[in-house]
Structure 1
Amino acid sequence: MPQHSWVPIPKVARGPLPDALTIYTNAGRKSRRAAATWQEKGQWCHQILDAVPEDSLQTLELLAVVWALPKWIHQPINIVTDSLYVAGVAVRIEDAQIREVNNQRLYQLL
């Protein structure tokens, strides 16, 4: 019987995708908000996301990215973040195994 193996198609690229929508994300420690900003038909659009009490700056930064992914699930996108934490998660997420962690908010976002 022949053996078959799956060849995963990567969802994360190491560089910008040409002709893809670019979404800029950021979060504020003092404002306790995250934001995603993008251009649509020549107009700048944004989404402001409020923190929950359990959010840290890192989970707020991650929240903006997690909000953007399903919104444009069928479209190639580039996400620009100033968060080293979020960039590190993005690079490792495809090969990661999700397990329960002490930080329930982080568990929800992942």
Structure 2
Amino acid sequence: MKRLNMLRHIIRVTGFSQFVLSFVTFIFGAGMVLFLVEPGITNYGDGLWYAFVTSTTVGYGDFLAITLIGRLTSVLLTIYGLIFFGCLSAVIINYYTSLNQKKERKNDW
């Protein structure tokens, strides 16, 4: 729980929260699109699951996108997921790097 609170703090302090909100919104929206256009996805929960698994690039293969809209949505989910998790890693690393630099400057005095 302590690590989750630290992650929340970093996201809030760095202004990354808007990106998190847009990513989560996109996953929920894509889940709805997939539910509506894909014949193999029979409920919203399955569409949401597919959207999450695709955005994290895990891709279990339990559901497949076979329509053009579903496949395009899958591509966008994958690209957005790669960008999101890459940026999240960079934000966390940048936060701790700046903390270490502040400590070093403080110790130099």
Fold match (TM-score > 0.5): no
**What TM-score results when the alignment is normalised by the length of structure 2?**
0.29
Q: TM-score, normalised by structure 1?
A: 0.29
Please state which structure has a larger fraction of its residues in strand.
1
User: Higher Cα Rg: structure 1 or 2?
Assistant: 2
